[in-house]
Structure 1
Amino acid sequence: MRRNILNSLLFVALVSLTMACKTKKKVVVVPPVTGVAPADAKKTETLTMLQGKDISYTTLSLRGKARMDINGAVNNVSMNIRIRKDEGIWMSIGGPMGIELGRVLITPDSIKVLNKWQNVYLGKPFSYVHRFTNPQVNYKLLQAILSGNTIPEFMNTEADILIKNGVWEISGEQENLAYLALFNTLFKVSEYQLNDLKSAKALKVVYGDYQNMNGTLFPTTIQINSMAGTQKIALNIDFSKVESNLPVDFPFNVPGKYEVIN
């Protein structure tokens, strides 16, 4: 029972590695498709143009609330997410009355989960996340999804790059992972679809409108639908605060009384 709850907490944390924010800044609404397709260009030029819309940061600090549906069980939680680019992703998940339910720390090499509700701890190599995702999923892919940026592995000339319904689409396969990235009229990612070709694992991420953050566009809403075998999660996140390039820490201490789960 404890293992199931711990795995659910981890799974929620992983699919929560996408974000949305709402601040007092003016929202930049995505213009509708006009019917006029973007100018045709070489693959390398298109990839450079789309990657040029990525946000640049050294750290991100995000706070907000999320509504999650895990196999029909609906819960509302608060979320605090911190990122040091290419180093680590830390998050705290809170429940009613401000009670912290758990913490997660993900690095390129490892993942740690602290379940403060049941006083248990899990520490595993990063490959443990492949229990819930395709083996092609790595730390930088999760980091890119969280920041609303393009995924580096998908932005290559071997992918299919075309204009459909007036906007860009990039699709392809890498080993057993099929991917599709849709872009909007702001040339920002509007949707990701990741599907494991050999198992029932799939992830769909949909970004909403944007806000201006330090001269770059940052998503304001997100909807996530994830499936791993029989486990299904629908997650809507609404962040109340987002900051970039400020010092962040990753507090993560395991009390001696906690039970270690293997």
Structure 2
Amino acid sequence: MKNRIHIFITSMVLLFLVGCKSAQTVVSSGEVANLSTKNIIKNHYRNALNFKTIRGKLKVNFDDGNMKDNFTLSLRMEKDKAIWISAKLSFVKIYMTPTEVKFYSKLDNTYFVGDFKLISRFIGTELDFEKVQNLLIGDALFNLKNEKFDSEVIDNTYALIPKKDFELFKRLFFLDAFHFKVKKQQLAQTAEQRLLTIAYPTYQEITGQIFPKNVEITAKEINKTTTIQVEYRKVTFNEKVRFPFKIPNGYTEIKI
């Protein structure tokens, strides 16, 4: 059961971005401009996703070295209010709000009701609804405007290095030099030998906005590497969406 929960939480929380089969891939071109750190960060937020709701489907490939799996998921989001994810036939369903995380599994008749502490434990850093939402739409996990950074150009990206980082883990942010969306962000816990890399290899333009086309997640621990790849498929924006969620009767609550 624990492994199943780990797979579910890791996959659901880290990987739900949106895409569209008919969208055009965005390709960076030209020389990288010599911009100040302040302007780099300003451009990142200037190009932030503007949406009210998102509805989409995506294909996920999972590999933790011991087990491989692939599955298709449905995603619905309402900005700053709700994230809803459902597997085929609602075998597994998750619902997140700024104050609560809930999910149930028909595979073993279990459910969980709690907060972001469980997710944070698996990822290795404290998360809240806003951080999860930012990650899902290709924005920086942390608010870059609240800190001071050094910057440099590395492989046609703007690398942002915190001048003063957190005590328990280190962070790096790489922004695309063309549209300033996140190209890669890393969280490292050196004492625990853990490294989480969230990479966005390519982006695409949909209805005039820039969205991730693919995402690759690599979580490295001692003697273990987990990789998750996502292919973004059908998506619609700003439609009216519902978030049906009801824990079936007779299910056993998971106590963490």
Bin for the TM-score computed over the shorter chain: 0.7 to 0.9
| Contact 2:117 2:126 (8 Å CA) reproduced | no
Q: Which amino acid aligns with 1:37?
A: V
Aligned length: 252
**Runs of 4+ residues over 4 Å off in structure 1:** 228-231
- How does 1:102-251 map onto structure 2 within 5 Å? 102-172=92-162, 173-186=165-178, 187-227=180-220, 232-251=225-244
CA shift for structure 1 position 143:
0.8
RMSD: 2.2
Tell me, which stretches of 5 or more residues in structure 2 are unaligned?
none
Match of residue 62 from structure 2: 68
SS at match of 2:11: helix
Q: Tell me the distance in 2 between the aligned counterparts of 1:62 and 1:129.
A: 23
C-alpha separation between the residues in 2 aligned to 1:40 and 1:8? Answer: 40
Residues 176 and 137 of structure 1, relative CA distance in 2, 3 Å threshold:
farther
Secondary structure at the counterpart of residue 176 of structure 1 = coil
Distance 1:82 1:257, change over 3 A: same
Whichever residue aligns with residue 74 of structure 1, its letter is K
SS at match of 2:143: helix
Identical aligned residues as a percent: 21
Q: What amino acid is aligned across from residue 178 of structure 1 in structure 2?
A: K
Q: 1 CA distance for matches of 2:63 and 2:114? A: 26
Aligned to 1:44: 38
Distance 1:50 1:5, change over 3 A: closer
DSSP 3-state at the match of 2:135: helix
Partner AA of 1:121 in structure 2: Y
Give, as a single letter, the amino acid of the residue that structure 2 aligns with 1:159.
Answer: F
- Secondary structure, in 3 states, of the residue corresponding to 2:49? coil
Give the TM-score normalised by the residue count of structure 1.
Answer: 0.86
Q: How far apart, in 2, do the equivalents of 1:20 and 1:231 lie? A: 28
What are the Cα deviations for residues 153-184 of structure 1, in whole angstroms up to 9, with x where unaligned?
23445122233344311122234232111122
Confirm or deny: 8 A CA contact 2:10 2:123 kept in the other structure. Answer: no
Task: Map Cα deviations across residues 95-126 of structure 1 (whole Å, 9 max, x no partner).
Answer: xxxx4430111222221121111111111222
State the AA in 1 paired with 2:117.
S
